[in-house]
Amino acid sequence: MLDALASQLMNDFASRTGLVAKDRPPKRYLWTDAFAVFNYLGFFLEHRDGNALVRARELVVQVHRVLGKHRPDDPRQGWLSGLGEEEGARHPTVGGFRIGKSLPERDPGVALDPELEWERDGQYFHYLTKWMQALRRMTEVSGDPVYHRWAAELAKTAQARFTTPRTSDGVTGLYWKMSIDLGRPQVFSMGQHDPLDGLLTFQELQAGRDEVDLRAEIGALAKLCTDRSWETADPLGIGGLLCDALRLARLLATGTGGSPDLLPELLLASIHGLDSFLRQRSLELSAASRLAFREFGLSIGLHAIEGLRANLDGLSTTGTGDVAELVKILERYEDLAVGIERFWRAPKNRKGATWQDHRDINEVMFATSLAPAGFLGGGS
């Protein structure tokens, strides 16, 4: 049964951000909008609500038309790819997508201000991979292959433009942030989980699709994932690891891709990360001292443990660890999701500045946590 609060949150989001209220200019943000697409698809699958599928389709169109083009305050206009209007509409993903931040990107030659950079526009690799996942899910649910093609075209662009120059020993990486036109790095460091996000997303796009050829990109990302540390105490990062573990388990269970040795690594890193996070005791703080969307990232990931259980056949002796035993250990943490959701269900906890300042991403990811099937589901 669809959670009533999840439905209300998504209705409010659609109206507030100009998706259904046509008298409001569209307010798009790539990460939030990706989760919103998942949510609408989940509502459609649960209730066969055609309106939810329509909203998912309309949101994809709006994201492409807003974030796939230059900002209104930018002298450059049109598609980020530089294609003409008609050709750009046929290939809306080949120029990537703006993040949707409030401030323009940092101009060339301007020194990096780490705090201010968080508010500046540009492109993030891990936001692009999230949008690829949303587009792939659109094809799964709607049956329309164009979304999968768009995701594969975006994958090609992202890998080509975010990859750092090859060094003398053949090592490459991924820039954390690129300029809007993908012409120059804005932040040179690599996100801890960016190679993993890319690897699993590209493997999912490749699986069972002869018309897609991402084998070279997958090989490069697989090398970047070798001998890396995935452990983090950040709740959003831990949740992402759990979701990635589920994606990998499905690839392995269906024989469509994935490295068997990687799965126990992700599960162990999740367990260690959860222990570190709980030692911080941040879930005991008041709402004013908590960032809800980061906690929802964790609760969404904890919901993925159920999917891991369902994919255990043939995986219990995978790689260097007993996957079934690791999943059993993770089950001890599942109730954390209930506690996080219960805390934020209380209206008083959703009235403070830390909620209102991030309202869109908070409410959409809360809806995902309350109704995770659209995001975590393995098929239609």
- In this structure, are 199 and 285 located in the same domain? no
Query: Tens digit of pLDDT for each residue in 284-293?
Result: 999 999 999 9
- Range(s) of the domain holding residue 99: 95-228
- In this structure, are 371 and 310 located in the same domain? yes
- In this structure, are 198 and 257 located in the same domain? no
Q: Residue 89 domain-assigned?
A: no
Q: Residue 85 domain-assigned?
A: no
Looking at residue 171, its pLDDT comes to 65
Of 210, 228, 246, the residue at which a domain comes to its end is 228
Q: Residue 42 domain-assigned?
A: yes
Looking at residue 210, its pLDDT comes to 87
Of 166, 198, 228, the residue at which a domain comes to its end is 228
Give the DSSP letter of residue 283.
G
Q: Is 227 exposed, middle or buried (0-12, 13-18, 19+ CB in 10 A)?
A: exposed
Looking at residue 168, its pLDDT comes to 63
Task: Kindly report each contact of residues 215-222 with a partner whose C-beta sits within 8 Å and lies 24 or more positions away, as own/partner.
Answer: 217/155, 217/156, 217/159, 218/257, 220/159, 220/163, 220/172, 221/159, 221/195, 222/259
The model's pTM = 0.96
- In this structure, are 244 and 276 located in the same domain? yes
- In this structure, are 128 and 194 located in the same domain? yes
- In this structure, are 222 and 275 located in the same domain? no
- In this structure, are 208 and 284 located in the same domain? no
Q: Residue 88 domain-assigned?
A: no
Flag residues of the chain having pLDDT under 70.
1-2, 168-171, 314, 316-321, 378-380
Number of domain units in the chain: 3
The amino acid at 210:
D
Q: How far is CA 135 from CA 43, 203, 291, in A?
A: 16, 14, 27
Looking at residue 23, its pLDDT comes to 82
- In this structure, are 271 and 220 located in the same domain? no
As a dihedral over the C-alpha atoms of residue 358, residue 363, residue 366, residue 367, rounded to 10 degrees, the angle is -160
Q: What is the CA radius of gyration of the chain?
A: 20
- In this structure, are 317 and 191 located in the same domain? no
How many angstroms separate the CA atoms of 101 and 105, rounded? 9
- In this structure, are 256 and 221 located in the same domain? no
Looking at residue 379, its pLDDT comes to 46
User: What contacts 316, CB < 8 A, 6 or more positions away?
Assistant: 322, 323, 324, 325
Q: Is 108 exposed, middle or buried (0-12, 13-18, 19+ CB in 10 A)?
A: exposed
- In this structure, are 241 and 376 located in the same domain? yes
Q: Residue 24 domain-assigned?
A: yes
Give the DSSP letter of residue 318.
-
Of 208, 228, 248, the residue at which a domain comes to its end is 228
Q: Residue 72 domain-assigned?
A: no
